[in-house]
Structure 1
Amino acid sequence: MTPGELKRALKARQFPSLLLLYGEERFFLEETLEKLLKLVVPSESSDFNYNLFHGKTARGSEVYDVARTFPVFSSLRLVVVRDVQLLPAAELDKLLPYLQDPVAETVLVLTADKIDGRRKFYQQFKKRGTLVEFKKYYDNQIPAFVKDRAGQNGITFAEPAMALFCKRVGSNLQEIAGELDKLTTYLGDRTVVDVADVQTIVSDTRVDSVFELTDAIGRQDSKRALSLLNRLLADGTAPLVVLAMLARHFRQMWKAHYLLEQRLGKKEVAKGIGINPYFLDGLLQQVRVFPAARYQGIFEQMLEVDLALKSSGAHASALLEQMVLGICQQDQGI
Structure 2
Amino acid sequence: MGAGFASTERFLAELHEQRLRPGYVFAGDEIFLYERCRKAILTALVPPEMRDFCLSDLDLSEVNIFEALDRARTPSLMAPFQVLFLRNLKTLYTRGSKKEEFAAIEEYFRSPNPQALVLFVADHLRIPADPRRMDMDDKNRYERLRETLGEWCGMVELARVDEADALRWLTAESKQYEIQIDSDAARELVDALGADMMMVSNEFEKLVLYVGEKKRITLGDVETMVLAAKQRSLYELTDAISAKDKVRAISLLHGLLNASDGGEDSAIGHLYMLARTFRQMLVILEKNVRDSRAIWQALWQGFRMPPFAADDLIRQARRYKSRRDLTRALRLIARADMELRSQPPDKRLVLERLVLELASEPRPASGSTAQYAMEW
State TM-score, norm by structure 2. Answer: 0.60
Number of the residue aligned with 1:24:
29
**Against the structure 1 CA distance between its residues 154 and 71, is the aligned structure 2 distance closer, same or farther, given a 3 Å change threshold?**
farther
Written as runs of structure 1 = structure 2, the 5 A alignment for 1:12-161 is 12-40=17-45, 43=47, 46=50, 50-55=54-59, 56-58=61-63, 60-69=65-74, 77-85=81-89, 94-114=104-124, 117=141, 123-137=147-161, 142-161=166-185
Q: Quick check: 1:155–1:192 contact (8 Å CA) kept in 2?
A: yes
User: 1:153 deviation in Å?
Assistant: 2.9
The residue type equivalent to 2:108 in the other structure is: Y
Identity %: 17
The residue type equivalent to 1:322 in the other structure is: S
**Against the structure 1 CA distance between its residues 139 and 228, is the aligned structure 2 distance closer, same or farther, given a 3 Å change threshold?**
farther
Number of the residue aligned with 2:360:
322
Q: Quick check: 1:256–1:273 contact (8 Å CA) kept in 2?
A: no
> Hey, what's the Cα distance between the residues in 1 that align with 2:200 and 2:34?
16
Q: Quick check: 2:180–2:216 contact (8 Å CA) kept in 1?
A: yes
| Paired residue secondary structure (1:102) | coil
User: 1:32 deviation in Å?
Assistant: 0.6
| Paired residue secondary structure (1:21) | strand
**What do the CA deviations read for 1:246-302 (whole angstroms, capped 9, x no partner)?**
441575696361747xxxxxxxx757755799943x236637x9499x466265532
Unaligned runs of 5+ in 1: 261-268, 325-334
Larger Rg, first or second structure (1 or 2)? 1
Number of the residue aligned with 2:205:
181
> Hey, what's the Cα distance between the residues in 2 that align with 1:118 and 1:251?
27
| Paired residue secondary structure (2:214) | coil
Written as runs of structure 1 = structure 2, the 5 A alignment for 1:199-218 is 201-202=225-226, 205-214=229-238
Q: Quick check: 1:140–1:274 contact (8 Å CA) kept in 2?
A: no
**Against the structure 1 CA distance between its residues 9 and 204, is the aligned structure 2 distance closer, same or farther, given a 3 Å change threshold?**
farther
1:192 aligns with 2:230: no
Aligned CA-pair RMSD: 5.0
> Hey, what's the Cα distance between the residues in 2 that align with 1:191 and 1:242?
34
> Hey, what's the Cα distance between the residues in 1 that align with 2:251 and 2:51?
57
**Against the structure 1 CA distance between its residues 59 and 177, is the aligned structure 2 distance closer, same or farther, given a 3 Å change threshold?**
same
Q: Quick check: 1:81–1:111 contact (8 Å CA) kept in 2?
A: yes
1:301 aligns with 2:306: no
> Hey, what's the Cα distance between the residues in 2 that align with 1:129 and 1:117?
16
The residue type equivalent to 1:184 in the other structure is: V
**What do the CA deviations read for 1:102-153 (whole angstroms, capped 9, x no partner)?**
2344322222422795999974322221122313446786545444443443
**What do the CA deviations read for 1:69-104 (whole angstroms, capped 9, x no partner)?**
458899x72321331438776777644420232234
User: 1:28 deviation in Å?
Assistant: 1.5
The residue type equivalent to 2:124 in the other structure is: K
| Paired residue secondary structure (2:82) | strand
> Hey, what's the Cα distance between the residues in 1 that align with 2:227 and 2:291?
29
Unaligned runs of 5+ in 2: 1-5, 93-97, 126-139, 336-352, 363-376
**Against the structure 1 CA distance between its residues 162 and 278, is the aligned structure 2 distance closer, same or farther, given a 3 Å change threshold?**
farther
State TM-score, norm by structure 1. Answer: 0.66
| Paired residue secondary structure (2:360) | helix
Number of the residue aligned with 1:162:
186
**Against the structure 1 CA distance between its residues 155 and 136, is the aligned structure 2 distance closer, same or farther, given a 3 Å change threshold?**
same
